[in-house]
Amino acid sequence: MDHEKLAQRLRTLHAINVTPFREDRVVDYDLLERNIEFLVANGLGVIVPYGNTGEFYALSVEEAQAVTRFVVERVDGRTAVLAGIGYDLGTAREMALAAQKADADAVMVHQPVHPYLMTEGLIRYYTGIARSVEIGVVLYVRHEAIDREVLSRVADIENVLAIKYAINDLPHFADLVQCVEASVVWVCGTAEMWAPFFFAAGAEGFTSGLVNIAPELSLTMLDGLRRGDSEAVRTVWRHVAPIEKLRAKNHNGNNVSVIKEGMNLAGLPAGLVREPLGELDEADRQELIQILRSWGKFA
């Protein structure tokens, strides 16, 4: 397992694909295949099945494992596959081992769902997962309890390759990048709206759900960030700001529903969301139509 080469591949745009559901809320594998092929055809270097845009917490462990196998088979080495895992330590280990058996390139450890988090417990949690597999491990950080001490100690593990940071506290993020001595890839976990600011503080990649609708915008931003073309970055930022603000409505409850409805409207069928998510109300749907129309994605 060449961790150095894999880490280099993670310095890019991470596409968080959707998990399409039929009317009966069963996973629609035909639509999932279309989604994956769309992302691969558009040159996405990393695909993340059942990240938060993929409704990780709405899937059973068995469904998540089946989705991993399906995505890895369909990708067939054309891009890196970073499979979401999580829940309790035993379940996370089981999911990590299943992802490794399915030939995923790495796993992304979702934010622990336990309401109470402590430093030593977090270190044992992440260490237990990382040492159960040989493939790469990425930490997904969404809580301040996962602090410098936790990250410094866990990042020293050989196969912990990246930290996806999703707390929009840029001074703190910049401090972590400077203080965590291990060589890990820092990834902005809050997509295009925050990627330019995170890159200025040390990020080398960012995640995106928008790529399921308009990968050209996300890839143009990535290229601009790499080249230091601030005008190109600002142009994309202005284009994506309205849809990202719409996703943030209802305490971020619109996040996945906007992406799926946007795909459906743009002729890239994504099916339905699964509870506890719901469909957009008509006002939000009309706002989304106007955004897509301005992008030439809706007639």
What positions carry a catalytic annotation?
140, 164
Q: State how far Cα 203 lies from the chain centre.
A: 15
Q: What region does 296 belong to: left with phi over 0, alpha with psi -120 to 50, or beta? A: left
Distance of CA 69 to the CA centre of its chain: 18
- The token pair at 235 is 């142009």
Cis peptide bond prior to 276, omega within 30° of 0: yes
Residue type at 124 in one-letter notation: R
Alpha helices, H only, 132-211: 148-155, 170-179, 191-200
6 phi, psi to nearest 5 deg? -65, -40
The helix-helix angle for 215-227 and 191-200 (nearest 10°) equals 10
**Number of CB atoms found within 10 A of residue 19's CB:** 29
Cα within 13 Å of Cα(146), Cβ side:
25
